[in-house]
Amino acid sequence: MEVLKKFFEQYFHSPAERVQPLQGQLGGSGRNVIRLSSDKHSAVGILYDVREENVAFLEFSRHFRRHGLPVPEIYAEDLSQGAYLEEDLGDTTLFEFISKNRAGDEIAPQAVEAYRKVAAMLPRFQVEAGRDLNYKVCYPRASFDRQSIAWDLNYFKYYFLRLAGIPFSEQALEDDFGRLTKFLWSAERDYFLYRDFQSRNVMLRDGNPYFLDYQGGRKGALQYDIASLLYDAKADLPPELRQQLLDHYLDRLGGFIALDREAFMQHYYAFVYVRIMQAMGAYGFRGFYERKPHFLQSVPYALKNVRWLLHNVELPIALPTLTAAFQSMLGSEKLRNVASEAETLTVRIFSFSFHRGGPPKDETGHGGGFVFDSRSLPNPGREEAYKTLTGQDEPVVEYLNRQESVHRFLANVISLVDASVSAYQRRGFKNLMVSFGCTGGQHRSVYCAEALAKHLRGRDSTEVVVRHLALEHMER
């Protein structure tokens, strides 16, 4: 941690006044991700002890920036300590953005536009920046070769099929894997393969996408990354939108290479299947093997994609044993029960006034939860400029963001709530209630409720519901 503080002070010529762990952005990667900030500056620090992976990320980042691609600027690094400091791209992932801008299969236009921007940017990584990339620093493989494909397929076989109790003939499945690998290997593969091009690895800032987590990139085929984006399980894109985005991507790709669309599509769905199997292997490893049930929340969405593929796509090669395994997955009672065992925890966050109504009552029958008194914080309501505003308005947000006491208060709140969320999920609880009170229920409590909601949104197996009781009363 001290090395990151040193980097911050050297780069910005002022000390970091706040240090906040960020747990949601990099999933199960094992990296410690920390936001360091002062009143004027903010940066993200990484602590990770896999040198080869750090080297790949740092070199790729600088290479992509030379090509004008929107990736974080690297401010400082010390590979001997597994530490580097990079540009802070904010808190909104593409996944969080689409989650907040949809109603079932109805995706709001601004979310569709964000996806279009992301799909349009992909060819620049794959072709433009891929031409002169130093593939010698790729980790753990320089290309998505037969060995890489075998790792993904076996990951699926041993950590998903085996642990989910799906029956299969080992030799017959290996024969299918061999045919599938040979077919995938026949696709053109002289491009940069991002490897994990999905909605949680794209940040949105001022409506524009910025990209993270490409350190596993290597040389490979074009189809894999767009398949990763469009069949990202929990993003759950409707089939019509997937097709529109694929067409948009191919239109842009045609500006970089002489594109044979028929040849591209001949291999495309085979790569879709491989990407889905790789992801399901990860769900099985984290969920079944490591017994982290919230990872299994993605399984129903992945099965939904498999069902659609089986009904709508015919591959150019026969894979009878793999197809039978997929059909068994769709009919598996154990996998149907997985979703209910890892049901979403609903966190209900309230703001309220201590002078009008007081803390809300729990209506779920669960009881418990937290009530935080934010009256110790500086009160914007005492200043004329903020009296008619609320904790959702930007001037009030900026005012409270400048207060060190607010950041200390929220850091303590988030630490307590995060611990409870993790424990509740492990124990299968379905509801947690968190309330913030202030004098009028208009400024500080509203700001704190929104800040906690922003922190929790996008977390696996967590649904966030926010209500501002005093504001609702004012509107009536």
Tens of pLDDT, residue by residue over 112-148, are 999 999 999 999 999 999 999 999 999 999 999 999 9
Is the domain spanning 94-341 CATH 3.40.50.150? The answer is: no
3-state secondary structure of 89: coil
What's the angle, vertex CA 464, arms to CA 460 and CA 467, rounded to 5? Answer: 175
3-state secondary structure of 140: coil
Burial class (CB in 10 A: 0-12, 13-18, 19+), 392: middle
Q: Output the pLDDT for position 426.
A: 72
Q: What is each CA distance from 228 to 36, 71, 472, in whole angstroms?
A: 31, 19, 41
Specify the CATH architecture of the domain 2-87.
2-Layer Sandwich (3.30)
Distance CA 416, CA 240 (A): 42
Whether the predicted pLDDT of 27 surpasses 60? no
The DSSP bridge partners found for residue 462 are 345
Whether the predicted pLDDT of 86 surpasses 70? yes
Task: Among 230-244, 261-275, 314-328, 446-460, name the one with the lowest average pLDDT.
Answer: 446-460
Q: Output the pLDDT for position 303.
A: 95
The mean pLDDT of the chain is 93
Q: Output the pLDDT for position 294.
A: 73
pTM (2 d.p.)? 0.75
Of these ranges, 165-174, 286-295, 356-365, the one predicted with the greatest mean pLDDT is 165-174
Residues of the chain with CATH 3.90.1200.10: 94-341
Amino acid (1-letter code) at residue 447: Y
Q: What is each CA distance from 92 to 74, 270, 374, in whole angstroms?
A: 20, 31, 25
Task: Among 58-72, 216-230, 340-354, name the one with the lowest average pLDDT.
Answer: 340-354
Position 26 confidence tier, pLDDT thresholds 50, 70, 90: very low
Q: Output the pLDDT for position 83.
A: 97
In this predicted model, what pLDDT tens digit does every residue of 199-215 receive, in sequence order? Answer: 999 999 999 999 999 99
Residues of the chain with CATH 3.30.200.20: 2-87
Q: Output the pLDDT for position 290.
A: 87
More confident position, 40 or 460? 40
Provide the token pair at 20: 């906040």
Whether the predicted pLDDT of 25 surpasses 50? no
What percent of the chain clears pLDDT 70, i.e. is strictly above it? 96
Whether the predicted pLDDT of 109 surpasses 50? yes
More confident position, 368 or 51? 51
Q: What is each CA distance from 458 to 74, 75, 293, 451, in whole angstroms?
A: 26, 27, 16, 13
Mean pLDDT across 32-36: 93
